[in-house]
Amino acid sequence: MSLTNETHDPAARSWVASAQDAASDFPIQNLPFAIFRRQGSEEAFRAGVAIGDQIVDLAAGAGDVFTGAAATAAAAGARDSLNDLMALAPEFHTALRLQLFHALREGSEKHSHLEPHLIPQAQAEYDVPAHIGDYTDFYTSVHHATTVGKQFRPDNPLLPNYKWVPIGYHGRASSIGVSGQRFKRPLGQTKAPDSETPSFGPSKRLDYELELGWFIGRGNPLGAPIGIEKGEDHLFGVTLFNDWSARDIQGWEYQPLGPFLSKNFASTVSPWLVTLEALAPFRVAFTRPEGDPQPLTYLDSESNRRVGAFSIDLEVLIQTASMRDAAIAPVRLSRTNAARAAYWTPAQLVAHHTVNGCNLRPGDLLGSGTLSGPEAAEAGSLMELTGGGKAPIELPNGERRVFLEDGDALIIRGWCEAHGARRIGLGEVSGIVEAR
């Protein structure tokens, strides 16, 4: 059965003029969700949908535009988080998306009803899209795992379980912020190789991690695993995600139980959540390199092999404080594609996470882990790009970077392109490191 429908028609046009821009992340074929309010206002945060450079205010437009299941979904989205909307069955999300598409389409009779409920994105401020109850970070890029492993275990970079089990750890949800997040350089213990004792102070090896964040929609009861065939029914959508990492703190603390203070000081998500339905034209086959083990039965299905991966282009840019002062635009550090980088699909992450009976809840976040592609220029962290700090990066203004310095802004952008489909985007996520 085809996963695409009329909402993916590349010829469809919106009466919102900015949605026709070929470079727009948010044409009528996308329609991602966010939680927003007008900048500087005391308004309640509520759900909106992007179209071009505008936001459809779902709370204001629900009575005039939506009916049936779509009205139920729009009302659920009128609250200060997307959790209630996420908790609805997928058919409610589909109904809302379809009615939005028709209301925003060129020639729609709903034009006059919906236009008063548009707010320019430039006049909005955003919150984290959902109340995140639990956050799990995975380790889905075999290229990242191998490159980092070589720095610590040259003779055995990839641990023997990696190609059999989706590796993950439970992270901290309370410090996840929305794009624009500013945070102070983390403090912690570190231990130099030539020192007998650790020392305490600010991290000197602060890094970013290029990730995608998959938000859970419907949950599952405790003790009831979600099978691979149903995994995507429990995913609401995807966002851009930066899981900042203090590599020097991490190197000292992570054995034997994994990351702790090196990760829980800040993580940043994009405000925009792109639905799985919008991603349908950009699905690709999930394959394994020849000679690698095939997934165990509970992680394998015909549909997952055929269309379980997603082709999402990703790039990372940096803008130092000096660059901002001189009005120098951010410069690219790396670029990759999620399908090239990820060894496991989102459905496999859901199936593995719940196979032991773990219950997921609406708004839970699954981080992909650092998405590094097979080539050096596709690395998703400075730890890889600089060879663990041995090869500084030269920036256009003459500055050099090994790890992040105070004042640095890190930007991640994502988009999808495919033959016969309209380009859509995930927007961007940015954050700034402040001095301790």
Known catalytic residues are 144
**Comparing C-alpha atoms, which of 382, 404, 395 is closest to residue 326?**
395
| Cα 110–Cα 114–Cα 115 angle in degrees, nearest 5 | 115
Q: Using an 8 Å Cβ cutoff, are 178 and 127 in contact?
A: yes
3-state secondary structure of 186: coil
Give how far Cα 181 sits from Cα of 172, 266, 270, 377, Å. Answer: 16, 8, 10, 26
The count of other CB atoms within 10 Å of the CB of residue 199 is: 10
Q: Using an 8 Å Cβ cutoff, are 175 and 132 in contact?
A: no
Instruction: Determine if residue 374 is left, alpha or beta; phi over 0 gives left, psi from -120 to 50 gives alpha, anything else beta.
Output: alpha
Residue ranges with strand state E in 54-191: 54-57, 118-120, 124-127, 135-138, 168-170, 176-178, 181-184, 187-190
The two tokens of residue 68 are 């049936």
Q: How far apart are CA 46 and CA 263, in angstroms?
A: 29
Q: Using an 8 Å Cβ cutoff, are 431 and 181 in contact?
A: yes
3-state secondary structure of 321: helix
3-state secondary structure of 189: strand
Query: Over the Cα atoms of the chain, what is R_g?
Result: 22
- Determine the distance from the C-alpha atom of residue 10 to the mean position of all C-alpha atoms in its chain, rounded to a whole number: 24
